[in-house]
C-alpha cells in the first residue's frame, strides 16, 4: 500500500524503504497461515473458543445471523466464519475440575495432563456409552447466539466413568463445531478438506473424532502461530517475494498428517448428533429460568 514515511522511519532507526502492506483480521490472517485461500477449503480451530472458517469466492450471507461474513485477506475474496465460545475451554474446565489425578501424574511423568486424559478417552467407543455433552459453559454464539445457554451432560448413569465423560466433552465440542459446518453447507459453500489448527489439533484422537464427525478429510497444519505466519506471507506478497497469496500459501504452508473419515463411525455419530441438536431447543426455556433465579 506504500512506504513508511521518512521521518517515521528515522524515529525508529529504520531505513526509508520499509513497505507498509495491508494485512487482515486475526482469523483472516490465520486462514492465510493455514492455506485457506481457495474454494472447498475450511479450517477448524479448537483453542479456548472454536472457529470454523470457510473460503468463499463471492459474498454469502446467512440471513439468520448464525455465522459471520467478512472480506478475506485474499484480495477480492470472502470468508464465512462460525464461532463457538467454549471449545478447548470446555476441555480445560474438565481437566481443572475432574483431572487432578491426571495433573499430578503428568507432573511425575513430565507429560501433559491433556495427553493423559485423551489416552483415557481413547479407551472409549464413539458415543461415550450414550453420554452427550452440550458445551455451552459460557453461553453460545454459533449457532444459537444465546447468553443464557448452559453446559449439560445428558444421559449420565451410574455406569459412566471419567474416561467416558472426557470423550463426551471432546465429541460435544466437535458437534458444536459441526453446527457451523452444517450452516456453511446450507449456504452453498463447498467443504472438501479441513485444516485442523489450535490446541485440539495436537491430539491425534481429537483429529480422528473431528474427521469422523465432519465426514471430510482432515489435515493437521504444521504451524503454531497461524495469524502471525499469515501476516508474514501477506508482507512477502507485498514485497514481491511471491506473485500472489495463493502461490505464497502453496509454497509455504505445510501439512503434517491426514486423517480420512470412517464412514461407519460417521453413521453412528450422525445419529448422536441429531439428538445433540434436539437437546438445545428442548432445554432453552429452562436456561433463562435458572438464570433469573441466580441473578
User: Which entry of 16, 26, 224, 278 is annotated as an active-site residue?
Assistant: 26
Nearest to 141 by CA among 109, 110, 180: 180
DSSP assignment string, 24-49: --HHHHHHHHTT--STEEEEEEESSS
Cis omega (within 30 of 0) for bond into 11: no
Q: 3-class DSSP state for residue 19?
A: strand
Q: 3-class DSSP state for residue 212?
A: helix
Residues β-bridged to residue 2: 20
DSSP assignment string, 229-277: HHHHHHHHHHTTSSSSHHHHHHHH--EEEEEPPPHHHHHHHHHHHHHHH
Nearest to 113 by CA among 162, 153, 151, 158: 162
Q: Which helix (H) or strand (E) holds 103?
A: helix 100-109
What burial class does residue 51 get, using C-beta atoms within 10 Å of its C-beta: 0-12 exposed, 13-18 middle, 19+ buried? buried
Nearest to 26 by CA among 2, 3, 49, 1: 49
Whether residue 179 lies in the annotated active site: no
Do 212 and 265 touch, CB atoms closer than 8 A? yes
E strand residue ranges, the chain? 2-3, 19-20, 40-46, 50-56, 68-71, 78-84, 132-134, 152-154, 191-197, 218-221, 255-259
Active site positions, annotated: 26
Amino acid at each position: 500500500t506504500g512506504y513508511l514515511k521518512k521521518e517515521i522511519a528515522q524515529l525508529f532507526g529504520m531505513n526509508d524503504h520499509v513497505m507498509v502492506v495491508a494485512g487482515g483480521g486475526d482469523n483472516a490472517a490465520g486462514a492465510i497461515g493455514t492455506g485457506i485461500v481457495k474454494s472447498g477449503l475450511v479450517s477448524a480451530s479448537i483453542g479456548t473458543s472454536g472457529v470454523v472458517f470457510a473460503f468463499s469466492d463471492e459474498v454469502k450471507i446467512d440471513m439468520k445471523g448464525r455465522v459471520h461474513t467478512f472480506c478475506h485477506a485474499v484480495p477480492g475474496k470472502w470468508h464465512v466464519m462460525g464461532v463457538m465460545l467454549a471449545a478447548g475451554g470446555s476441555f480445560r474446565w474438565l481437566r481443572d475440575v475432574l483431572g487432578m489425578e491426571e495433573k499430578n501424574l503428568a507432573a511425575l511423568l513430565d507429560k501433559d495432563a491433556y495427553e493423559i486424559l485423551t489416552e483415557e478417552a481413547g479407551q472409549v467407543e464413539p458415543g461415550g456409552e450414550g453420554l452427550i455433552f452440550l458445551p455451552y459453559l459460557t453461553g453460545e454464539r454459533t449457532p444459537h447466539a444465546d447468553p443464557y445457554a448452559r453446559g449439560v451432560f445428558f444421559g449420565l448413569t451410574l455406569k459412566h466413568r471419567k474416561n467416558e465423560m472426557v470423550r463426551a466433552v471432546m465429541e460435544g465440542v466437535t458437534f458444536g463445531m459441526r453446527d457451523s459446518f452444517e450452516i456453511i453447507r446450507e449456504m452453498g459453500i463447498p467443504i472438501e478438506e479441513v485444516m485442523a489448527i489450535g490446541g485440539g489439533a495436537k491430539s491425534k484422537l481429537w483429529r480422528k473424532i473431528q474427521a469422523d464427525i465432519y465426514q471430510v478429510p482432515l489435515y493437521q497444519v504444521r504451524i503454531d502461530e497461524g495469524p502471525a505466519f499469515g501476516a508474514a506471507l501477506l508482507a512477502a506478497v507485498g514485497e514481491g517475494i511471491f506473485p500472489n497469496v495463493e502461490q505464497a500459501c502453496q509454497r509455504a504452508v505445510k501439512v503434517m498428517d491426514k486423517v480420512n473419515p470412517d464412514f461407519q463411525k460417521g453413521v453412528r455419530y450422525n445419529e448422536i448428533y441429531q439428538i445433540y441438536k434436539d437437546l438445545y431447543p428442548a432445554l432453552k426455556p429452562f436456561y433463562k429460568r435458572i438464570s433469573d433465579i441466580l441473578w
